[in-house]
Structure 1
Amino acid sequence: MTTPLPAHGCPFAIDATASDIHGEAAQLRALGPAAQVELPGGIQAWSITDPGLITRLLTDPRISKDAHRHWPAFINGEIPERWPLRIWVEVRNALTAYGDEHTRLRRLIGPAFSARRIPALAPAIAQITHRLLDDLEQHQDTDAPVDLRAHFVSVLPLLVVNTLLGVPHHLHNAFRDRIGDAFATDLTEEKATANYRGLYQLLEELVTTKRGMAGNDITSALLNAHDAKSDSRLSHQELLDSLLLLIGAGHETTVNLIDQAVVNLVTHPTQLALVQNGSATWADAVEETLRHQPPVANILLRFPTEDIYDPETGLSFDHGEPIIVNHAAAGRDPHIHADPDRFDVTRATSRNHQSFGVGAHYCLGAELARLEARIALPALFDRFPQLTLAVPANELRPLASFISNGHQEIPVHLGQRL
């Protein structure tokens, strides 16, 4: 069930369990291009649902992501130390930085995601993909369903990003579990705080380990930037938080992209057939998934550095008012996409989405996520052409997160060997 429409201008209470992200997004869209919402912990914010308004705000230099500088309630100590979502604004990395600080931090990680380096990763991604599919084959002739998310979808991006970062194998599963909980929005204060501490213990362990085994990887490069005697050097907190950003964004978003693409394709066999017979491409399926089921449904938080008036909507956003970008709502805007709830790999407007952001904070890993999905999907369906869900699609359980848009499990039958 979704939260009922608010009355008399009261903030719309966001469902922390995310039981129906798109139902909630539709209700918010009905309230206009932006709506006042209430997050867990009683924090009020604007949810921006209109793609045009999102573009205008995210390309406006007066919009910041730095709570330390531009969220008065945070600066004045009004946000509880144990607020479950505090990690999303407290970190100091390229995700939250503003202005020159953002440029400095983004420049340090940018080379890892350059236009030349990403395509060069394709052979390694393909090798990891086929190794995981080999492992899956042991379940092929059994009647019991297998959780595709646990055995394939969540593992592939983790192995790719950990290869880029040089994360030791013994830390892989621990990071997967902790990162997943970082995206959960239904945690109690106690569980969120415990996960927060656990994450930083893992990051400290990663840094300590890499100091003794430096290599040609992003973690080693960031360690060099931390140790450098220059104005652009990373502080220890920036080092840890930059690693957190790369592991989190490099894993969770790609997992959900592949997750939602698989579910869409197996539940829309005519669409899968269009891709398989060449009437559409795997890239088309990826872009339509990004529009139809954005891997990140909502992104927290941005803040006006001064009062902003938007003449196209007549809305005003006061200095320091928190802003959420609602990708789930924007991707299904009926003014841009005809019959927006329908999954259609031939849709002319599929690429007209904002699921990787807009402006200065456009996701550095966007092309890596696309590449992983374009390799993983055809390999999966070629290996298991009889792949089907083991439960009705409406029984798949969504992640308990209004940030991360995926499923808790994807139980499937792989089909008999051909």
Structure 2
Amino acid sequence: MTAPAEPQDLLAPELMTDPYGAYARMREQAPVRTVSMMGSPPAVMVTRHDDVRTVLTDPRFVTDPELAGNAADPMRAAIFEQLGISADLAQYLLRNILTTDGAEHARLRKLVSRAFTVKRVQGLRPRVEEITAALLDRMAAADGPVDLVEAFAYPLPITVICELVGVPEDQRPQWHEWGRDMVALNPERTPTVLRAAVDHVQELVAARRAAPADDLISGLVRAQEDDGDRLSDTELVTMVFALVMAGHETTAHLITNAVLTLLIHPGQLAVLREDPELWPRAVNELMRLRGPVQFTQFRYPAEDLELGGTTIARGTPVIAGLLPANHDPRAYDHPDELDVRRYAGPGDGHLGFGQGPHYCLGAALARQEGEVALRMLFDRFPDLALAVPASEIVWEPRPGFSSVAELPVRVH
């Protein structure tokens, strides 16, 4: 059996407007499907839970196409061309902690992993609670409806990651705008935004070289002087850029999606009010059910192999469908229902943070921010309610993301 020849466009309207239904149909009808995006060469998407887990964990799948026999990266090259990203800017997207394997990936991950250990994240909790409380105070003082996205869901994670990395307070709103522009994949904005962000990080690095501080940028600058873990200038800038972008955009949408989901499932919210100890489990369930990331970056099989009854040749770009895998009835009972008591096995109980060597570096921090944000929000505002009918909430047409542009709520 081979994958269907006619590619499914990942930017097709049905996937933008109804991703849950469209990916469910793909999972049940063509679980190993030929796809394309923005004029890229054909790739293969897998959508069933076990196949997705295999792509994420099997060492035969790599993120560096050269390790799978490709002289270049045709998928990203095609997408970068569509977006107007020049070669000098592409270098900050092509080789980073997300796109390397083996010893190189381990070296880069080691440099930043200390900042995201469970112990270090637990130590951040009082500060996360402090930031959350201040944001809730501002929401309480507002007259009329509040946009939860702008007032709460974005400011919390961007403040936390910027403090951790070392981005000054007055420059953090700019990162919010850059993040929105980057995930929108707008050719008219992406090159300009990427250039501005890279220039900004270079300025931050230069400032830390002149005056080190207690932040991650200063630690990475020091690592440049360590012969065992030497970072190039490009690697350093790339690392900071990737951490700040990944460290706020996805968590903001996790919080927003979770609040919306709980408000339209009042029975489940009542369970959490009765038993607050369920909040950590609920965050995992909300990440499974309404996680913001629909599919992964490309993986490449380093040898010919079979997946889901389909032969996939060495070097073929493969995309793991996180959203359909997390709704696979083969892995979960009643997968489309919210159950805050659900226990789906050890670990996360879902694939929303990935698996294997590229498991999300900031997963512990994202879970903590989600738990603190949701618990404190619903404790502070017991009458929190949507300010518009749920049917009027607009999901953004973002490729690979499940997110809403606004979430109007009433806090009183």
| TM-score, normalised by the number of residues in structure 2 | 0.91
Cα distance, 1:120 vs structure 2: 0.7
Aligned position for 2:260: 263
C-alpha displacement of 1:138:
1.4
Which of 318, 326, 333 is equivalent to 1:323? 318
Corresponding position of 1:178: 178
Kindly provide the amino acid, as one letter, of the partner of residue 198 in structure 1: A
The SS at the match of 2:409 is: strand
Mapping for residues 398-409 of structure 1, pairs under 5 Å: 398-409=395-406
Q: Could you say which residue in structure 2 is the equivalent of 1:190?
A: 188
> What is the match of residue 199 of structure 1?
197
1:317 shift after superposition: 1.8
The letter of the residue matching 1:154 is Y
| TM-aligned CA deviation for residue 387 of structure 1 | 0.9
Q: Which residue of structure 1 lines up, in the alignment, with residue 216 of structure 2?
A: 218
Q: SS in structure 2 opposite 1:136?
A: helix
Q: Give a deviation string over 1:71-102, Cα, whole Å, max 9, x none.
A: 73735799345233976994322111111101
* CA separation of 1:41 and 1:34: change in aligned 2, threshold 3 A: same
What's the CA shift for 1:361?
A: 0.6
Residue 341 and residue 77 in structure 1: after superposition, are their counterparts in 2 closer, same or farther (change >3 A)? Answer: closer
1:114 aligns with 2:111: no
Shift in Å, 1:401 = 1.7
CA distance in 2, matches of 1:308, 1:77: 20
Match of 1:297 in 2: 294
Tell whether the 8 Å contact from 1:82 to 1:193 is kept in structure 2 after alignment: no
Q: Secondary structure at the match of 1:324?
A: strand
Q: Which moved more, 1:154-163 or 1:189-198?
A: 189-198
Counterparts of 1:302-381 in structure 2 under 5 Å?
302-310=299-307, 313-349=308-344, 351-381=348-378
Name the CA distance, whole Å, in 2 between partners of 1:267 and 1:191: 35
| Aligned CA distance change for structure 1 residues 206 and 43 (closer, same or farther; 3 Å) | farther
Work out the CA distance in 1 between the residues paired with 2:368 and 2:82: 36
Deviation at 1:30, TM superposition (A): 2.1
Deviates more, 1:351-360 or 1:39-48: 39-48
Q: Equivalents in 2 of 1:342, 1:353: separation in Å?
A: 14
Secondary structure of 1:309's aligned partner: strand
Indicate if the aligned counterparts of 1:252 and 1:404 stay in contact, CA closer than 8 A.
no
* Pairs within 5 Å for 1:136-155: 136-139=139-142, 142=143, 144-155=144-155
User: Are 1:10 and 2:9 an aligned pair?
Assistant: no
Match of 1:288 in 2: 285
Shift of 1:69: 5.0
Distance 2:98 2:206 in 1: 24
Q: Secondary structure at the match of 1:46?
A: strand
Say whether 1:412 aligns with 2:409.
yes
Distance 1:134 1:8 in 2: 54
2:98 maps to which residue? 95
Aligned ranges 1:14-163 → 2 under 5 Å: 14-15=10-11, 18-67=16-65, 69-70=67-68, 72=70, 74-75=72-73, 79-80=77-78, 81-84=80-83, 90-139=93-142, 142=143, 144-163=144-163
SS in 2 for 1:412: strand
Whether contact under 8 Å (1:309, 1:315) holds in the other structure is yes
Instruction: Write the distance in 2 (CA, Å) between the matches of 1:193 and 1:67.
Output: 24
8 Å Cα contact 1:297/1:403 also seen in 2: yes
47-56 or 155-164: bigger deviation: 47-56
Distance 1:269 1:336 in 2: 26
Distance in structure 2 (CA, Å) of the matches to 1:245 and 1:32: 33
2:58 match: secondary structure: coil
Instruction: Output the amino acid matched with 1:134.
Output: D
Aligned to 2:241: 244
Q: Percent identity?
A: 35
RMSD over equivalenced CA pairs, Å: 2.4
Structure 2 distance, partners of 1:150, 1:106, is: 31
Shift of 1:309: 2.5
Residue 67 (structure 1) shift:
4.0
CA contact (8 A) 2:263 2:385 kept: yes
Indicate the SS of the match to 1:36: strand
**Cα contact 2:149–2:256 (8 A) shared by 1:** yes
Sort the Cα spacing of 1:94 and 1:104 in 2 relative to 1 into closer, same or farther, 3 A.
same
Q: Distance in 1 between the 2:236 and 2:5 partners?
A: 42
2:299 is paired with a residue whose SS is: strand
Q: Say which is worse superposed, 338-347 or 369-378, in terms of deviation.
A: 338-347
SS at match of 1:353: coil
- Give me the whole-angstrom Cα distance separating, in 2, the residues matched to 1:183 and 1:68: 26
Taking structure 1 as the reference length, what is the TM-score of the superposition? 0.89
Most deviating of 91-100 and 266-275: 91-100
In proportion to residue count, which structure has more helix?
Answer: 2
Matched, 1:396 2:399: no
Structure 2 residues not aligned, in runs of 5+: none
User: Is there any run of 5+ residues in structure 1 with no aligned partner, and where?
Assistant: 1-6
Report the CA distance shift for 1:302/1:280 in structure 2 as closer, same or farther (over 3 A): same
The letter of the residue matching 1:205 is E
